[in-house]
A and B are shown apart, each in its own frame.
Chain A
Amino acid sequence: MSTNAMATTTSQPLDLLKRYGIWIAAAVLIVVLPKIFTSGAALTTMSLMGIMIVFSLSYNMLLGQTGMLSFGHAVYYGLGGFLAVHAMNMIAADKLPIPLPVIPLAGGFMGLLFGIIFGAVSTRRAGTAFAMISLGLGELIASLSLILRGFFGGEEGITANRTKMLTLFGVRFGPQIEVYYLIGAWCLVCVALMYAFTRTPLGRMCNAVRDNPERAEFIGYSTQMVRFITFSLAGFFAGIAGGLAAINFELMNAVNVSGAQSGVVLLMAYIGGVGHFFGPILGAILVVLLQVMLSDVTGAWMLYFGLIFILMVMYAPGGLAGLVMLHAPLWRNNTLHHVLPAYALMAGPAFLLLGGTVLLIETAHHQLVRAATEGPAMHFFGLTLQSNSVIPWATALIAIAVGLLLGRRFAPRLVEAFHEASSPAAQLGRIGGA
């Protein structure tokens, strides 16, 4: 009623721009990004981000939207990827007239098929029982992947050649840039579809089942059926992500269906924030960045990864999206700049705390893991330090202590500034003052 009335009062083009603006912007961004980040490494990273965005959003259909904690979502991603690899090999061998861009669909249908099969079993239960069943199924497939060598290729996995497919418009998908755009297009379509899903009757009932499964049963819905359909659809999108990965790497192996992969997608969704649709997108981008960049510069990158996860769970359970949305009232009040000085003030302690922690971890890592073979000399941001001397340890601990002290001292100012800027009175004051 009132929404209809609002829609008719706004002018047509503005309405269209408002509704589709974000999608147009996303499409433009996907096209433009490779022009800005031109290196081969950047292109590989961005391709992986596109794949992981689809994967983590599909996971959040379960966790964030329906309240189902799955420890085995990589099963659908991996199986989709394996089927895509086999499909590519079959098509190449038989010279079938099927072009590469539709291969992810094969992955999607594999994910859907196993989503239906395993979903029928696991969605009979909710909560902890569902989580345990998903874990069991995940382990089952992971161990099968080492036994069924014909399908999974054992330790080495199965390779494919994406360029041996039917060529359309002269595009053979040899260069990474062409694969990047293929992934970008699939990513955009999948994100749009998964967003649309949240705005359907079933999508809304997912939230209802998450919030209060008992009540959902008393308004006519079988919570098991809601979970089952959603689980199958999440499997479909995970399978598409797997198909894209198969195209991107031209290789699938046991790691892709493993519990570790299931853990990564859980971390991505959670760090990004499961309470908002766009959260897992942020999470996928950040985690891929960390994986690619941190693993290059430090051997202890998994530790950083774990620390970030723990800090997020403890202090920002809403994830990155939750932190972003914390600023929404300030954005509406147009008072975002009011908190900038307080944030700037916190930058010093934050830098000390972060630097001290990194130095501590790196020194410890060097001393414990590498000093035995490489000697105590270590490189830290251009400096050469001795990991067995007192200097790096003391510096790190002092930096952490000072950072904590200053942070505690400045924190009330930030809280106060934030509180003022987010209250409705801030807006009134601003208008009155102007």
Chain B
Amino acid sequence: MDPQSPAALSLQDVHKNFGATPIIRGVTLNVQKGEKHAIIGPNGAGKSTLFHLISGRFPVSSGRIILNGEDITGLKPYQINRRGLSRSFQVTNIFPRMSVFENVRCALLWHLGYRYSFWHNIRKLDDANDRAYQVLREIGLAERAQMPAGQLTYAEQRTLEIGITIAGGAGVVMLDEPTSGMSRSETAHFVDLVRRITQGRTLIMVEHDMGVVFDLADRISVLVYGQIIASDTPAAIRSNKAVQEAYLGQALEAAH
């Protein structure tokens, strides 16, 4: 690893047990700045758990997690978010009673430095309002701005989820199955969106749709039973014997 520019995200021998059951069994992973990294693997491999560990939702049992050269092991989700890592959720996780606009605006307040202010009039915060509209235009929800977020269609809610995730300007974006539950045409549209809005950022995603994975990712890690059995370019992963045996063979067949 080049000491001049540390990896955007680095996991060092991360373990996670639930009770006596090991779920993550020693994951070491380096994601470079600007890389689009996909994590794939069979159901129950621990992909979502790994996401929860990185984003601080669960504490690790052992090992270290380094974000942009800083140790974030054991920090709370909001502390990790403030250091430039933002994530989406597999199950849509928005603020349903607030407007679409308000959802996005809330997601960038901290990062514009307004923190817990109760002395700024939010209507006069031009930077927050302009940026929120800019994000809404980028994700194509500008026309829905004033609608309660809970009334959006499923695909729109998934889109808003991404908007909330990227609004704060995090350098490392983690998407947990962004296209789950979407139709084929929606998925194609969504891949374009993800590609556009993660430009210049580091992307780490869990995804089941192999078309999406091979379309978006620069590198792919294969997680099987809590261990990474391969981490390489898409072409190398595709031809990797161990990966085919463990997972990819069936997954690619199923996709055809």
User: B-contacting residues of A (Cβ < 8 Å)?
Assistant: 1-4, 196-197, 199-205, 207-208, 210-212, 214-222, 225-226, 229, 233
Contact = CB atoms under 8 A, between A and B. Distances in A.
A207 B95 contact: yes
Interface string B67-109: 0000000001110011000110100011111100010011101
Interface of B: 55, 76-78, 81-82, 86-87, 89, 93-98, 102, 105-107, 109-111, 114-123, 125-126, 128-130, 133, 164, 167-168
Given A3-B129, A201-B115, A226-B116, A219 B93 contact: no
A235 to B, nearest CB: 14
A200 B117 contact: yes
A4 B117 contact: no
A3 B82 contact: no
Contact of B110 (A196, A200, A219): A219
Nearest to A223: B78
Contact of B94 (A196, A215, A222, A229): A215
B55 A218 contact: yes
B106 A219 contact: yes
Contacts of B117: 200-202
A200 B106 CA distance: 11
A215 B89 CA distance: 9
A229 to B, nearest CB: 6
A215 B125 CA distance: 23
B138 to A, nearest CB: 14
Nearest to B150: A211
A208 B130 contact: no
A201 B77 contact: no
9 contacts: A200-B120, A201-B109, A201-B118, A202-B116, A212-B96, A215-B93, A217-B76, A217-B81, A219-B78
Main secondary structure of the interface of A (DSSP, over half): helix
A197 B122 CA distance: 10
A222 B120 contact: no
A183 B168 CA distance: 43
B95 A215 contact: yes
Given A208-B106, A211-B97, A221-B78, 14 more contacts: A201-B115, A201-B118, A201-B120, A203-B122, A211-B96, A212-B95, A216-B78, A217-B81, A218-B77, A218-B81, A219-B81, A219-B168, A220-B168, A221-B110
A380 to B, nearest CB: 45
A215 B149 CA distance: 14
Contacts of B128: 201
A53 B77 CA distance: 38
B154 to A, nearest CB: 17
Nearest to B93: A215
Nearest to B174: A218
Given A199-B123, A201-B118, A220-B82, A211 B76 contact: no
Contacts of A196: 121
A212 B93 contact: yes
Nearest to A207: B98
B114 A211 contact: no
Contacts of A225: 116
B78 A201 contact: no
A217 B77 CA distance: 6
A-B pairs, 6 with minimum CB distance: A220-B110, A211-B95, A201-B114, A217-B77, A202-B118, A219-B107
A231 to B, nearest CB: 13
A201 B89 CA distance: 24
Nearest to A220: B110
